[in-house]
Chains A and B, each alone.
Chain A
Amino acid sequence: MATFQRHRLTPWILLAPQLAVIAVFFFWPAAQAIVQAFYIEDPFGLGHEFVWFENFARIFTSFEYLRALGVTALFSVSVAVGAMSLALLLAVQADRVIHGAHSYKTLLIWPYAVAPAVAGVLWMFMFDPNLGLLSAGLENLGIGWNHRVNGGQAMLLVILASIWKQMSYNFVFFLAGLQSIPKSLLEAAAIDGAGPWRRFWTVTFPLLSPTSFFLLVMNSVYVFFETFGTIDATTGGGPGGATRTLVYKVYEDGFEGYDLGSSAAQSVILLILVGLLTLLQFRYIERKVQY
């Protein structure tokens, strides 16, 4: 009995450091944000006033916010779909040649190790209207490139940078998923008369669905939150708010506009939004991927 008691305590002790980190860096700020969302604070932090839901009401009637919502929708769908499908395409190609060769896989995850801001800067330089190699190349082809002026081009740039950044992560998971599919299944399918294309869609893809589902959840979180660094370093939300996503607007309103109440309310909404999205994915998609 005594040992049993002790064993019940051990997991908590082992978890404690992790729990402490989560408490300090997630629960505490989240609680703060929720509290803040109900106050209006003056920019100099001299006084604040409890205002019930006024911050939320302001947000939902603001054209700027609705625009950011639209930008986010376009951005997140493009990045998630792009990063996942490109990664899958590459993983399928790599799976054909790699049979457990570990060194390749290690190389291929490198982009993931690059910090979002660095990735952003990298892409910004490549496409810099004055200095960039790629923008110069486009110029030669007769395509004028200036993402500082052209909102569509700015959007394209952040989408590309964000896809590039996330692709390696997806790639590694897809590759691992592909390599865990027994070769004999595909051989059986080949003997059963399925060509390569049909084999992929009727055997490989369904067997990858747990991996795809996991990546869908991870990529959603990524596009909503982690792309901040990339956007900040590449376009800074511009031009004229063309690349201002929800998370970027939280930052702008809070740290540049000093409207802490609105910023906090926005972050609460964003949290709820992503929470709901994840819940939805678990309820409706996860059920379909089990076999």
Chain B
Amino acid sequence: MTTRRPAPSSLRSLGDGLTGSPALVAEGVGLTYAGGIEALRNVDLTVADGQFVSIVGPSGCGKSTFLKAVAGLIPITHGTLTLRGDSDRRADVAFVFQSPTLLTWRTVLGNVELPNELRGGGRSTARSHARELLALVGLADFADRFPSELSGGMQMRVSLARALMTDPRIMLLDEPFGALDDLTRQRLNEDLHRIWLRDRWTGLFVTHNVSEAVYLSDRVVVMSSRPGQIVADVPIELSIPRTPDHRSDPGFAAYVREIGARLREEV
């Protein structure tokens, strides 16, 4: 497995102009559940290493299914899915779910350490790494609290820190901020963007919020209603790093309008 460092931002590829081996290649991916529900049909998506791609689409169109397939949690029934040229799809991948999915009986620190424990990593280095990550998400002072003592936004931050624990090269985020109020969501967007700039993992981010998608992404892809297919692929050519000021930028608003209109055609 290669541990290629991310390219500097000026060289970062957008859309089709890929350089180097892509992080994710989906070719003709189809997925029909055992019950006969066809969730995905003919999904083609190539994501360059270090790229941040958002997926928007109508409810029930197969976005979560696609992320789970990428994570190797559900087998696909058609086509091929390749991650970083590696056939073991779970290597190097982290997943952030819509709910924080924390273990209520463990402290915040214990939750962040969990992935390392499950993988049988060393204890002492893990502890300091977990503390670093908690500081990164702004929860340094909450290491010994229990999740029930935290707000929804803080729990989501713990969930993010936990996902970062294994130094993933691919982050799959399934509507992680869907349950949060707008202000908290924006704060978390800014922090997520900062972490992505720091680590430059490849991000696949599912959301219903178009403005959040534009804010975070190099590209936003639009999925059709079920069976999901990719019907639009919009490169977001705003300067990086993104700042809160971008939200009032006319270019930003134009992207939001364009993608919003494209999305409404699908609903």
Partners in one complex: no
Write the residues of chain A forming the contact surface with B, with a CB cutoff of 8 angstroms.
none
